[in-house]
A and B are shown apart, each in its own frame.
Chain A
């Protein structure tokens, strides 16, 4: 067929569009297009890969409901995460992320002789344990794994059960480094 356009660019476009018109069918294009539209919109509805998409929230679905909201989302295996069950009232940097353990101080710091004692529910056996929140003192703030648990935390006018204050009373230095959570005992 003789091209009707005169310019070189127009000719190129004309030949491309004529080629496309000759090679493809309009009905075929519409049906293909519709198929892809339906497929693309229905694919996320299939029951595939929903767990991966939902991420961590839906994975450990708490079977039991505890009185403590913290315990409902707590775990007992990883002391470097904020939802480790003993941290229900820990406010500060986790010693487990700073070179120490959940109840040990990192090298170069010393445990404060004073602590405040709260209680946390262990999500695996549902029992309540007493936990001593003891600050490690003597080095500048660790800065890793900042966590804020507030179970049983009282306002600072009840300082003996308040976690906003630095618990380094009696330690060789009042400089706060990190917070530890030691197991004291099993509550009645």
Chain B
């Protein structure tokens, strides 16, 4: 009988503790085995950040830089917009030109990533990309390495970057 009373008391205590703990499914807590306990709450990502995440972030990184193999955006990509050829190049690189998203979305994500990762490198009179500009530019199919070399040389010649090293890609030895 005494044991039964102890068990009942424990069960009662457990139910009170259970009721007192914060409700797991409230608000926007992520219902997942890892986040249910931690109470992680997520707010929806802005649309442009989401476009960047699903189309660019996997390789270019959450903060605009990643592995040596991947061109760094942070503190660099804005230089390209300083001359018309460079501005064109950013739309004509294959993963932008051939992207499955609309011209308006591509313009939005380009403007977003330029302002987010490389604002300091943008020219003072920077004009954001428009959907119609992207639509026209993305028709072209370029030789990426040759185009990039030409743009970087032109940037150096125009005095926009101190030397080609500013935008250099590392020489990678995989094996």
- Write the residues of chain A forming the contact surface with B, with a CB cutoff of 8 angstroms: 76-79, 85-86, 101-103, 112-119, 122, 124-125, 127, 129-130, 132, 158, 160, 169-171, 174, 183-188
Question: Taking A77-B33, A130-B53, A187-B50 as contacts, is the C-beta distance between A169 and B44 under 8 angstroms?
Answer: no
Q: Tell whether B45 is near chain A: CB-to-CB under 8 Å.
A: yes
Within the complex, the shortest CB–CB distance from A115 to chain B, in Å, comes to: 5
A113 and B174 form a contact (CB under 8 A): no
A86 to B70, CA, bound (A): 26
30 contacts between A and B (CB under 8 A): A76-B32, A76-B33, A79-B33, A85-B32, A102-B34, A103-B34, A113-B66, A114-B59, A114-B67, A114-B70, A115-B58, A117-B58, A122-B31, A122-B32, A125-B25, A125-B30, A130-B50, A132-B57, A160-B55, A160-B59, A169-B67, A183-B30, A183-B32, A183-B35, A184-B53, A185-B44, A186-B42, A186-B45, A188-B46, A188-B47
- Besides the known contacts A76-B31, A169-B59, A170-B68, 19 further A-B residue pairs in the complex with CB atoms under 8 A apart: A76-B33, A102-B34, A113-B61, A114-B70, A117-B58, A125-B30, A129-B30, A158-B100, A160-B55, A169-B67, A169-B69, A170-B67, A170-B69, A174-B174, A183-B32, A185-B49, A186-B28, A187-B44, A187-B45
A125 to B61, CA, bound (A): 28
A84 to B174, CA, bound (A): 34
A9 to B70, CA, bound (A): 92
| Contacts of B20-57 to chain A: CB distance below 8 A | 25, 28, 30-36, 42-47, 49-50, 53-55, 57
A125 to B53, CA, bound (A): 22
Which chain B residues border A122 with CB–CB below 8 Å?
30-32
- Write the residues of chain B forming the contact surface with A, with a CB cutoff of 8 angstroms: 25, 28, 30-36, 42-47, 49-50, 53-55, 57-59, 61, 66-70, 95, 100, 174
B interface majority secondary structure = loop
B66 and A170 form a contact (CB under 8 A): yes
The 8 closest A-B pairs by CB, nearest first: A170-B67, A124-B31, A186-B42, A113-B67, A116-B58, A185-B45, A188-B44, A117-B58
- Find A119's partner among B42, B46, B54, B174 (CB 8 Å cutoff): B54
Name the residue of chain A whose CB is nearest to the CB of B57: A117
